[in-house]
Every structure is written in C-alpha cells, then in structure tokens.
Amino acid sequence: MIPWIDGDAPFPPVESALRRPNGLLCAGGDLSPQRLLEAYRHGIFPWFSEGEPVLWWSPDPRMVLFPAELKLSRSLAKTLRRGQYNVRLDTAFPAVIRECSQPRPGQDGTWITPEIQQAYCRLHALGHAHCVETWIDGKLAGGLYGMAIGRAFFGESMFSRVSDASKIALAHLARYLERQGFGVIDCQMKTAHLASLGAREIRRSELLHGLDAWTTAGPGPGKWPQDGAKDLFGNIT
C-alpha cells in the first residue's frame, strides 16, 4: 500500500518508496506548479497513465547525466561536426511535448496525457520547463523537454523523427548546461540510449544530497535564449 495525498499535504519521505515497483511513493494530489516544483526539489516526479490517479515516483538507484561526462560516439561526433541541423531552445515547447506524447512502437498509449501536457506548458509559460529542439530542413526533427530548478535539470522525455535527432538535442543540452554551471541532468530511469551518452546510475541519497545545493543556487525561472545552444560543438574532432 502507498499513501494518498490530498490538497497541500506534503509528500511522504522518499525513503518510504516501494522497491517493487521501484520508486512508487504515493498517489493523489494535483499537477499545480507549486506541487510539481516541490516534487522535483525532493527527487520526485509524476508518472501515470490516462484514467489513473496521479502517481508519484522516486526510484533508487537513479539514472543521471553529469554534464561534463557527456560521451559522444564516433558517429554522433561526425553528425555534430557536419552541422546539418539547427538547435533552438524554448521556441516550440507545445510541439515538442506533443511529439513526445506520441506512442512508441509496441506501445498502446502514453503517460504524457493531455493533463500532463497542460501542466508542463503552464510551467513553461512560468519559465520553469524548457525544451531543446533539433530542426532539419526547416522541420522539427527531434527534441526533449524537462524542468530546470536552480542548477539542476530534470529530463522528462525526448523524441526523434530523424536518426540521431534526439541525441543531437541531448548533447546540446548537456553542453549548454555545463557552460551555465549546472550540476546534473536527472534522467530518472535507466536506458541504453542514455547510457550511451554517458549517463550512469547513482544512489538516490547521492542525488538528493546534490539537489539540496543545486536547486537553491543559480538562475531563477525564465525563458532560455533561442540561440543559447549555437556553436557548442564547433571544435570537436
């Protein structure tokens, strides 16, 4: 059994999250900006299917990418070196989250429900949620979105309509955040895709210790500059 939270009741301690399924902490509450910001500051995120109550998670271990540990494969480095794309920040947030919501092959539905989309679009308007977009031949070919609090970024989802388009976006995100002094990209769950780019698992307690410092330092909310990711890979070999 997991606790149910109502109104502005606080989250239970993350240490009480279930082992199976890994990280399930509690249910209930809403997706207001205040609730979501409080969740991320404590290493908690929402993940639920349409028709379910809001479910809150904090898995242990936790997949993270430290921006300075970004790893480029030979093929991705070659793609970045050619530069036959354009990366923009925060110019098409609704389109990015809508593309991310499309079911993957072999999946019947998506956890990025209309309710989730509305909540994160509101956070984007308030300057908390951000997106990185890969444009090829004038079309949105891939991208990702997530939350920024202080100097911590919390990745939510990515999509790709052209080979490597999502990897281009994530590589530029990591390099941009490194230059801005960010400490971590919380990737939440382990995937081979993220591991290939240098992400690794750490203990949840280690992440929470870092969040105490990262989320209370650095810039406040605000839109990222459209061309902030320009020329970040001009000198790679």
CATH 3.30.70.3550-classified regions of the chain: 4-59
CATH 3.40.630.70-classified regions of the chain: 63-214
Residues 190-217 have a mean pLDDT of 95
**Closest by Cα among 140, 136, 50, 138 to 93:** 140
Model pLDDT for residues 1-51, shown as the tens digit of each residue: 899 999 989 999 999 999 999 999 999 999 999 999 999 999 999 999 988
Spatial neighbors of 109 by CB under 8 A, at least 6 apart, are 49, 50, 103
- pLDDT given at position 50: 87
Torsion of CA 2, 128, 144, 55, to 10 degrees: 10
**How far apart are the C-alpha atoms of 88 and 229, rounded to whole Å?**
7
**Closest by Cα among 33, 25, 20, 34 to 54:** 25
pTM of the full predicted structure? 0.95
Model pLDDT for residues 128-160, shown as the tens digit of each residue: 999 999 999 999 999 999 999 999 999 999 999
- pLDDT given at position 24: 98
Name the CATH topology of 63-214.
Answer: Aminopeptidase (3.40.630)
Name the CATH topology of 4-59.
Answer: Alpha-Beta Plaits (3.30.70)
Contact 203, 177 (CB under 8 A): no
- pLDDT given at position 11: 98
